[in-house]
Structures are given as structure tokens and as C-alpha cells.
A and B are shown apart, each in its own frame.
Chain A
Amino acid sequence: MASSLNKPKLIVNGKRIDGRDFNELRPLKIEAGVLKNADGSAYEEWGNNKVLAAVYGPKEAPRYLADPEKAVIRAKYSMASFSGLDGHGRSAPSRREVEISKVTSDVFSNIIEVSQFPNSVIEIDIEILQSDGGTRAAGITAASVALANAGIPMKDLVYAVSGARIEDKMAIDVNMIEDNYSDADIPFAISPRNNEVLLLQFDGGVTPEQMKEAEKLVLEAGKTISKIQKDALKKSYEDISAKYEKK
């Protein structure tokens, strides 16, 4: 967390710094199938975040990586050098990028039917083109759409969003300033069919009650996110259907 010396006021007149309510998501827009050469892809704009996710595979795994029992999921999260965070994307993957790549791979290893594709690898590339807080959640949400767009069999359409504590209030979907100065930051990834938690990271401090409240806010907002993900997948197919229904 950043220094609290010049901490900005995060709550103004009972609203958050960007005028949102505590349970309000930033505007979310997803488009599926934007890259022709990838097996599946998605472009996402979540507030000021701009994320491109691409899926390749399943394809033959390199010998050192291959698992004869199941497919290996290899996610790569990276921030473009122009994404807005100083010092990101200017050299080899940073500690932070390696960490996020690992947790993202773990999320999807639990949800993709890996046993159907032994000795193969499924690559998920997540590129943050512009960042404004909560990019790991944005990356997972976009990658999930890209995987469904690639036709990879999986148990669920995962979404992710961050919960947070701002002073004594619980909130969701933090932006960059809130991310840096909030009192707790808790990204969640959820499998919506049974609300199973696939990723839970935690930075800061909350009481058990506050944690429960964060989860409640996340699950509530998840309904909106899931719907946007599904609409994105349907869009191109519905457009073609609509062309013929008019006639």
C-alpha cells in the first residue's frame, strides 16, 4: 500500500472518489472474437482498464512441461509499456506479473476440463493495454470469455472482481487511486454456478463481518458481470441471425 502521508480523501459526500456508490461497478464492455489468428479472444473495457485476452490451443506441450494426465494451463499476464503504470512492461516480466500469471493459471486449471487433453498446453495471453486498478480481475473476466470463444470445454464461465474496504465502508471494483490508498483490497474470482471461490487474495485488514459483506457485494455484482460476458459471446451470432429475421 502506498504511503498514507498524502492520502487523498476517498469518500466525498458519502460517494466514492469517482462518484460511484459503494456497490457500483465501473462501466463494463466486452467484445468476443476480436483476433482472427487466435483460437479465441476477447477485448474488454472496464472503467479505464483496457484488456486484450487471447487463447491458443490446446496444442502439443513442450516435453519439459507436458503432463500425461492432463492439459497444462499457461496464462501470461503482462502490462504494455504504455499501459500507464511506471516501470511496467519495460523489461522481463516483473515479480507482480509473474505472480498474477500464476494465480490466473490456477484459476483456469480448476475450471477447464484439463483431463480431456493430456500432454497438451492451453495458452492464455492477457495484455493490459491501459490500467486503472483491478487489472487482475479484469484479465480473468476477459480470459474467461476468450476461453469460451475458443470452444474449450470448461465447467463454468468464471468472473472476477475486487472487493475493498475504504475507511469503514465495504466497496467493490476499486479504481487505481482507491487501489493504492484503500484500507483493504480483496480480489475474488468466482465460479457462478455454485459461487465457488477460485481466487481470493488479500491485502490490508478487515473484520470477519466485513469480509462477509465484501463477498456479498461481489456475488451481487457478479450477476451483472456474468450477463455482460454472456451477451458478448452471443453478440456476433445474434447479429447474423438478425440479418435473416428481418427479411
Chain B
Amino acid sequence: MRKFVFPGEMILNSPTGLSYSYIENDKTYSKVFGLFDESSKSLIPLKSVWVPHIDDRVIGTISEIGRNGSYSVEINPMVKGVLLTDRRERQKFYVGDVIEATVKEIEHKTTAILERPMLLKDGILMHINTAKIPRLMGKENTMINELTTFTKTKIAVGKNGYVWIKGDNAKRAIEAVLRIESEAHVPGLTDRIKEMLENEGNK
């Protein structure tokens, strides 16, 4: 049974190292407004602030080109993305290009060094609540795979909340993504999205 919890609400009578919670006087309190499942002891925020972790796949826009072959990448208002390339290499990206890359290192919690960049050409870039990214991916990427198969679009998802969509059916894919974002907290999401995609496909 899931219930709403609020910042400062005691969720467990014992000290437990849950994410999005803190311990005070041997009790566990929530730090966020979210949903708490007592049986599985999981606390899921309904909205969250993205903090970079190593190996996070992110999407960003090239904002500046350095002299030594480095690029500044806009990935988040708080975290600066930096992409280093070999200076002998030919210039790969231009200002305004959208790329997908992996976080290799984090400096001072505010700079993310990126690696393995991939250019995302054309397409549509949108941003959603980062707390809903795991739901958009689904267990073992099932949700996102279903989305791409049904709408025949290419979709890239960044942990930092950016979603890039390309294809003739982009509009349908965007609708599905927005629906996942707004309805992720209601049980039965996978079935509803499947139904929505199947019904529209028959039209």
C-alpha cells in the first residue's frame, strides 16, 4: 500500500538508510514529497532534483567550444558538462548540436566530465521531471522499447531529464512521454500506455 509522504514526516520507527530520507533520533524521516511503500520500504519522490552519478547517460546541448578541443555542454542549470576530445582530431560538434554522452567523472559535484559522445541529429528535444525517468525507461527498458516499437521513432533518454525523439510519429511518442510523466504515480501505467499506443495504431 503506497501513501503520500511529506518532508519531515516520520516514515520508519528505526534508522534506515533509504534514499531521499534522513535519520534523526534513531528514526527515519522523509526529505521529499513522494510516495512511500511500507512493505517494500521504498520512497519514491514525485519530483526530484537530478544529481549526477558516474555512468549516467545524459543529453545536452553544445554551448561553447574550447581551444583545446573541449566542449561545454549544457546538461543542467546546476551541473556543467565538459566534453574533452583529442585536440588533433577534427572538430566534431558545433554550438547548438544536441549530444548524448556518459558521465565519466564528477568534479566538485558541479562539473561532469563526459565521454562517449553521440550526435543526435534533427529530432525534438523535450524535458521532463527527472523523478519520472525510471518510469519512462521501465523495468529493464521495457517501457521505452515498447514506445519505440509502437511509434517507430528513435528515442534517447537522459538521466538529466532530457528526452530526444525523432521520427514521423514523434507527436504520438511525445504524447505518450507526457502521459507517463503525469500518470506515473497511478498503478497500472504500463497497461494504460500499451492500450493507448495500440488503439492509436489501429486508427
Contact = CB atoms under 8 A, between A and B. Distances in A.
Interface of A: 40, 57-60, 68, 113, 116-120, 148-157, 191-193, 230, 233-234, 237, 240-241, 244
B150 interface: no
Nearest to B34: A151
Given A58-B78, A119-B110, A234 B4 contact: yes
A148 B78 contact: no
B49 A240 contact: no
Given A57-B77, A193-B10, A152 B186 contact: no
Contact of A237 (B46, B77, B80): B46
B33 A149 contact: yes
B32 A148 contact: yes
Interface SS of chain A: helix, strand, loop or mixed? Answer: mixed
Interface in B19-77: 20, 22, 29, 31-33, 45-49, 51, 77
A153 B108 CA distance: 19
A148 B33 CA distance: 6
B31 A153 contact: yes
Nearest to A120: B78
A159 to B, nearest CB: 11
A15 to B, nearest CB: 34
A130 to B, nearest CB: 27
A17 B188 CA distance: 53
A153 B32 contact: yes
B73 to A, nearest CB: 14
Contacts of B48: 151
B6 interface: yes
